[in-house]
Amino acid sequence: MERQADADIRIGAGATADAFIHSSLRSRAINSVCTMSRRSGRITLQARDSNRPEPTVRAPLKKRKSEPTKKLQPATKKQNYEIQKCWSEDGASPCVLIETPHKELEPADPSSFKQYSFKNLFIKPSPIPRLSWANEDDVWIKMLNKELKYVHDKSYLQQHPKLQPKMRAILLDWLLEVCEVYSLHRQTAYLAQDYFDRFMLTQQDVSKDTLQLIGITALFIASKIEEIYPPKIFEFAYVTDGACDMWDIQRMELLILKALDWNLCPETPISWLKLYAQVDAQKDGENFLEPQFSQYMYIQITQLLDLCMMDINSLEYNYNVLAAAAFCHFSSFDVVHKVSGLTWDSVHPCVRWMTPYMDTLRSEATPQLKTFPKVKADDRHNIQTHITYLDLLRKAQEHQIDSLDCQMSPVAVGMILTPPSSTEKPVNS
């Protein structure tokens, strides 16, 4: 009886052990299924470590309902321009520039966007000929949008009671001289001027002792943007004759970059002028990127722009209008209209303001192309030159036109005054 009981106990124990083993294997199989991972589209079983804690089985994620995209209010929109082709066949009706939001930002109320009709600005959607490397309309619109993004205003002197317009002219005249010494390009000089004016617009109560440091730092930044081989920082410190050292320039560089929010690529009057001259000289089948305009005519127009840039009142006008007005003094308005799309109403105030500067330059010798070491002959017109701009500025300001009510006709080739086209005359004239 005792042996039978022991056998039953052993059998019962064996059955219990078998059941335990079976249960353990089943549990492992379930855990193995739970630890499967999908790799490269195939399901593989991962080896399970007995010492690793049991993974927590997460409930399946519920499909999130598609929530409507939160739309930004018009106050946070980005301003942009697109050209609506609404001109008539005869070309007399201007196109309309419509303020549009950024593509990624949709306004909550589209009707809140105002529509601005700039009938005095652009008639053609793009004067740029067909390009093989880009869409000419996109290039043109991007250039126009930069006129909105990069704001300049002559009223910033009100924020600096210790400064006078003549101090700015002296500083810019010195920067042009530095550019010629180091054979820097005209675009570099105009970038420095733009950085200086926009930086001063963000500051308050700057002393005249700081102007030279701001100016040379703006030129230092511009040279790194435009030049292939910009001068070293110690060379910029050297031309200040001990007024600034390298550490001063580096500290001021950080201040300017932060104040400008790293927006360093405006369309300067020089870039607009080069576009106008190239469109005017463009021939069928020629590469648009290769200059085809006259170098001698170009340096005469740039000399007029240099002189006008010295006057702080030039900041009243957009850079594209400033370049078009200078181009108008050496060509007819019909040509200017073709290459810029600007109407006479939008150009003639700047042309009239620029007239005494043009009269002053006529009394001077015609500028000649200068030779610079290590500069190719076909690039000499792009190097910034310097003349006695301060004396010419004083003479031009003495001959400023007193009457602002007089109407001036556009200048034709040969400096013969001709009336504007009938479609360009003011409505109330």
Percent composition of the chain: helix, strand, coil (DSSP 3-state, to 5)? 50, 5, 45
Collapsing DSSP states into helix, strand and coil, what is residue 148? Answer: helix
Closest CA to 389 of 169, 178, 77: 169
Q: What is the residue-wise DSSP string for 218-233?
A: HHHHHHHHH-SSPPPH
Domains of the chain: 72-149 (no CATH), 154-266 (1.10.472.10), 268-429 (1.10.472.10)
Residue 240, pLDDT score = 94
Closest CA to 218 of 175, 247, 173: 175
Beta strands 96-100 and 37-39 are: unpaired
Q: What is the residue-wise DSSP string for 102-125?
A: -TT--BS-GGGS-----TTT-SSS
pTM: 0.68
Q: CB of 194 within 8 A of CB of 268?
A: yes
Q: What angle do the packed helices 165-181 and 211-226 form, to 10 degrees?
A: 40
In 240-302 the beta strands, taken as DSSP E runs, fall at none
CA atoms 140, 224, 219, 229: torsion sign: negative
Where is 384: in which H helix or E strand?
Answer: none
Measured in degrees and rounded to the nearest 5, phi and psi for residue 72 equal -80, 150
Residue 401, pLDDT score = 54
Q: ∠ CA 267-211-151 to the nearest 5 degrees?
A: 30
Instruction: Round to whole Å and give the CA distance between 351 and 110.
Output: 38
Residue 292, pLDDT score = 79
Report the chain's C-alpha Rg in angstroms.
Answer: 35
- At which residue do the structure tokens 């030129």 appear? 219
> End-to-end CA distance of the chain, in Å?
135
The helix/strand count (H/E) of the chain reads as: 13, 4
Q: How far is CA 71 from CA 76, 81, 160, in A?
A: 10, 20, 41
Q: How far is CA 232 from CA 189, 255, 408, in A?
A: 16, 19, 47
- At which residue do the structure tokens 């190239």 appear? 278
Residue 25, pLDDT score = 46
The one-digit pLDDT tens for each residue of the chain (429 residues) are 555 545 454 444 444 445 544 555 455 544 544 444 444 444 444 444 545 555 555 555 555 555 554 444 444 444 555 545 444 444 444 444 444 444 444 455 555 544 544 444 444 567 888 887 788 888 889 988 998 899 889 999 999 999 999 999 999 999 999 999 999 999 999 999 999 999 999 999 999 999 999 999 999 999 999 999 999 999 999 999 989 999 999 999 999 999 999 999 999 999 999 999 998 888 776 777 777 788 999 999 999 999 999 999 999 999 999 999 999 999 999 999 999 989 999 999 999 999 999 999 999 988 999 999 889 998 999 999 999 999 999 999 988 754 444 445 454 444 434 444 544 444 443
Structure-token pair, residue 68: 């409507």
CA atoms 405, 407, 410, 415: torsion sign: negative
Residue 316, pLDDT score = 94
Structure-token pair, residue 166: 């003549």
